[in-house]
Every structure is written in C-alpha cells, then in structure tokens.
Amino acid sequence: MSNMQFCRGFNPFVILFCLAVVAPIISADVAILRTDYYQKTCPDFHKIVREAVTTKQVQQPTTAAGTLRLFFHDCFLEGCDASVLIATNSFNKAERDDDLNDSLPGDAFDIVTRIKTALELSCPGVVSCADILAQATRDLVTMVGGPYFDVKLGRKDGFESKAHKVRGNVPMANQTVPDIHGIFKKNGFSLREMVALSGAHTIGFSHCKEFSDRLYGSRADKEINPRFAAALKDLCKNHTVDDTIAAFNDVMTPGKFDNMYFKNLKRGLGLLASDHILIKDNSTKPFVDLYATNETAFFEDFARAMEKLGTVGVKGDKDGEVRRRCDHFNNLNV
C-alpha cells in the first residue's frame, strides 16, 4: 500500500502520520518564497540592489528594458532559475548563445554581475542569482515609471542551461497569436495576462532583423503607419551589414513605462509583427483597447502577471544552488 492510499483514512494518528511523512514528500523540491527571505541572512539585500540599479540605469538608460527582457527569457525556459545567465563552456552551449537570445543586452547581464559582486562582499554565498535578477527587474521597472509589485524571494539557481531548448519556449516576432499564447499558456498565463506582459514593449528596442521583413519587398506590411514605415526603412537600410541597428519598441515615449505601447498599436505604430497582431486578432484586441484607454487597468494586470511570472518553475534547495558566480555553475563540469 502506498503512503497516499494509507492517508485516505480518518484515524487521527493516520492524519498525523500523513502530515509528518507524506507532506514533505510532496513539497521537498518546492521553493517556499517570501518577501523577507533575506531579512536575517542578508539584511542589506534590498539596499544593495536598489543602489546598484539606480547607478546603472542613470549610466545606461536602456538597462531597465534589457533586464526585464532577460527576466522573461529566463523564466520561460526551465523557470526563474538564472539559467539564462550561464556562459557557454567547452562542455556545454548555454541558453544565452542560442540565436533567439543573441540580442539579449549586455547591460542586463552586467547589472546582475555588479549586484552579485556587492552581495558576495556583504553576505557571501547567501543570495541566488535568480533572486538578484527578479529583484533588479522590479526595481528597474518602477524606476522608469512602471507599477510596483511584490517580489517573493528564495529561488535557487538551476543546474542546467541548454541552448537547444530555447526554440519553442521563447516567443518569436513572426508567430501568430495562438502560437505565442501556446508558449504563455504552458507557463500558466491567460490570454489577458499575455497581452498585459506584452506591454513590456513600452520600453526598450528591437534590432532591425526582427522586423525588416515588414518593411521591404513584396511582403511589406501595408498596415504600418506610412511615415513610421519610411523612417524605419531609412534607419534599417544597412542592417544586413550592421546587425546592431535597432529601433525603439515605443516610438513615442521609449524611456517611460506607460500604456503608450497599446495606443501605438491602434495607430499602426507597432514595431514587431507580434505586436501588430495583438490589435488585429479578435481574441486580443479587446485587451489592447482596454489598456490603451485605461493605464490603471494595464498597470494592475501587469503587476499581477509579473508576480506570477516570478514564481514560474522556481527551484528549491534540492534542485538548485546559490552560485558563487552567476555565469558559472559551482560545479564547472556541469
């Protein structure tokens, strides 16, 4: 008889046995997250993160958008476990070196490294890289005008980072709404939450290669605002020889986290094809319309979705570690 079958009785001694034996079996590998996780073990955690992100954002204003994007890419593959931070070595090609992650910005990796270095001096071996990325993301979003949301802490850093697993787990610019929602849905997100999280494109930029097929040739998208299309064509005319050329995702208020992204979609100012389809598809258009007219609704939904995102696939003590360096596993042969 299994432990679970044994626990179906109502004998009080049986119930006590179930609480003592079966419950740990169920929850042993699940991280218990809480906002005050480092209150005793690293009391300066929040202060160190806040000071580091403030300095970095002032130096490089695209840091907020880059870190937010890095957080998405981390959580959507193997959960929020800092696997995207791992560097490739002779044994393993890591997530960050897959083609779909080529454009992840260096400033986002840099801010995590800066914070980790400071924390290792203050409380060595205590704070995970996964928690650093989660906390830095929230602090940076609020710095540029976005909504506050709670960040529960206690994640451990994962033991795996495989480039070949990226495709199919990260949304692509040329996918349909059903395809994109399929990726969100397997991580537990509704269609409304998907649209709210897409609002992250109210800050940041995308490289020309991600939207150039909308601009040139017989397949050019006629629904792009003509003046916007002309400006993008001029900007991206040399993108095949310089793949660093990029455009702001939100051409109107690129450095401010607001609901302008959704207003832009209604004006034909969506940069990526995956942005534009949100206003074209009947299943997502009502949410675009709502967020374009009601910034409070967008902020509330975005904040709730970000709290939820931060809990996706988190690792506990048995399935993770606290890395000494965020770009290397503690066991370098992994």
Residue extents of the structural domains in the chain: 44-204+249-310
Q: Is 250 annotated as a binding residue?
A: yes
Phi and psi, residue 107, nearest 5°: -60, -30
pTM of the model: 0.89
Q: Is 311 annotated as a binding residue?
A: no
Tokens 């100012």: give the residue: 269
| Continuous segment of H or E residues that includes residue 3 | helix 3-6
Pick the CATH number of 44-204+249-310 from 1.25.40.10, 3.20.20.70, 1.10.520.10, 3.40.50.300: 1.10.520.10
- Whole-number pLDDT of residue 333: 52
Long-range pairs for 185-188 at CB < 8 Å and ≥24 separation?
187/75, 187/76, 187/309, 187/312, 187/313, 188/308, 188/312
Q: Is 239 annotated as a binding residue?
A: no
Q: Is 27 annotated as a binding residue?
A: no
- Whole-number pLDDT of residue 16: 42
Q: Is 253 annotated as a binding residue?
A: yes
Q: Is 202 annotated as a binding residue?
A: yes
In eight-state DSSP terms, residue 148 is P
- Whole-number pLDDT of residue 11: 52
Catalytic residues: 73
Q: Is 242 annotated as a binding residue?
A: no
Report the C-alpha gap between 134 and 75 in whole angstroms.
10
Would you state the structure tokens that stand for residue 242, as one six-digit string? Answer: 């310089």
Closest CA to 257 of 111, 53, 61, 52: 61
Tens of pLDDT, residue by residue over 178-209, are 999 999 999 999 999 999 999 999 999 999 99
Residues of the chain with pLDDT below 50 are 1-10, 12-28, 334
- Whole-number pLDDT of residue 6: 42
